[in-house]
Structure 1
Amino acid sequence: MTFAEHLDTFHGLPVFTLPEPGEEPLPAAGDVAWRLDCYAAGDLPFPEVWRSFRERVPSADVRALVIGPWWEDEYTELRPVLELLLADAERFPALRALFLGDVVGEECEISWLQLTDVTPVLERFPLLEELGVRGGAGLGEESLALRPLRHAALRTLRFESGGLPGQVVRAVGACELPALERLELWLGVAAYGGDATVADLAPILAGGAFPALRHLGLQDSELQDEIAAAVASAPVVAQLESLSLSMGTLTDAGAEALLNGQPLTRLRRLDLHHHFVGEAMAGRLRAALGPAGTEVDLSDRQVPHQWRNEEWRYVAVSE
């Protein structure tokens, strides 16, 4: 799967892409999530897009910001973009949501996005409630990184990646995020830098790290069966309203582990879409959880590819 469309809503606001200079009028600063895109702004370098944004939009009223393609021709690192934002942090007192990397497949593959350490964003914006990041190990010298920290306001944290570095997963588990309600990690595959192990997830699964957590997504993994087995006995499940183990290589073995583990009927929703679970096992899941009112998403069943007498299973997002 590749991303075919840009975000249309973010943090409960419609996304509005800043047009080329001279195209007015613009919406009120607090009514939309502002999206900055070098292509849409007339192929301007990002520093010029940023300057145009600052001049045309009252920054003190901006509530949500989305960063799209930040390069004009050749792919470049995200770090200079963040440096501009961080340097102007005091000019954005109302900012509550930031999405980094709203890029579709025809613009850049997710694994090619050259990200950086996103910790300074959380340090400089202590009132931020939502952070979304798309990308992974990338092609450049820098890679996506995170350092453990305490952040009192963050409610939603989302990493979309075809290969999420294990260092990021371990750092998330070591953070103190008392307000966090939604955590979503697309783990990806080792071939694209996704070297997280099930052991790296242990602090998250233990349940004490994020007392307000109500939704957990551990998705897009080639270790989906092992993750399902770990989740089956994980204390964190008792506090959840929804759980997603979707987009990965879940098979009957992982589904069996879920059925044999702790009751999942307390969940309102169990998302397993994009899976390799057989019809019989899918029926068992529905029979076990459906009568209790748990919505089970088993859509998008996949069929393993045959290669040299072996079966090959694939995640939804990798390259």
Structure 2
Amino acid sequence: MMNSSSDDDSSDSDFSDQLDCYKRLCHIGEGTYGVVYKGINVKSKRVVAMKKIKFDDITEGIPPSCLREMSILKMLKHKNIIKLLNLCVERDRIYLILEYMQCDLKQVMNDYYPRLPSKITKSLMWQLLKALSYCHLKRIMHRDLKPQNLLVNEFGILKVADFGLARSFSLPCRTYSHDVVTLWYRPPELLLGCEFYGASIDLWSAGCIFAEMICNEPLFCGDSEIGQLFKIFQILGTPNAVVWPEFPNLPDSSSEFPFWTSVKDLKSVVRGISNSEKELLQKMLIYNPDERISANEAMKHGYFLNVSIENLEKLKRTDK
């Protein structure tokens, strides 16, 4: 199993450079609230990602999601979390200078179509869980995990990015918005209007990503909140108070929901899943958030025996 002793990436970043120290090279994507460019530090020649913050109205100041991400990224120091290298403020522009990663997980899955090699799936899932375990230890929930927010390089290193919706959480739980997490990766408690939740929402999202890595297609593909909920019910069965005591009391729960029984075997839905993968996935997709496996517990699962970092050879041939 990989050594986790060096997980804490506590090296200091330099926040003194001005924007003219960086040169934009090309557009590479969109974030929660900004445009992302590939760039280079003209002094050090280090390739970076430059996230330009969008302002609808400069008088409104920096978007709260941007402030939240900056604050959280300056606090989190882990090799599987994207590093904030610099912050450049100039007139009406703000750039977050971040580590550059070649692509996101969705692109990796596309490059390896029709299926990721099982060793790569295991390696990337392990790293995602390490990042989540660290975040949750620091009382941070990401709240928007999806393949597009997981960045990967040719050496097989995964880093969690885009913390624009992330929040700190406390015990006992306090109220939060339930309108978070991209629809296909949103857990049932949020779809049902729950405002008291914690880190377990990230584990549901991670489970959906895990299934998608295994079979190279999303597990639950709803086109609306109720449609998403029914997609989940059709595979896992319509929940009840026995499997999920809080289910009848959730704001958007209904006794009129259609009744579905769970599929007999996830292997019929997640093509190519192994027995150990299925066992772990089932623990991540438990309805009751209190019984859902934690990131730390998931890392101890037998599936991860002899896990190792796997180079992504295909990315070496496709980098911009």
TM-score greater than 0.5 by the shorter chain: no
Query: RCO higher in 1 or 2 (8 Å CA, sep ≥ 6)?
Result: 2
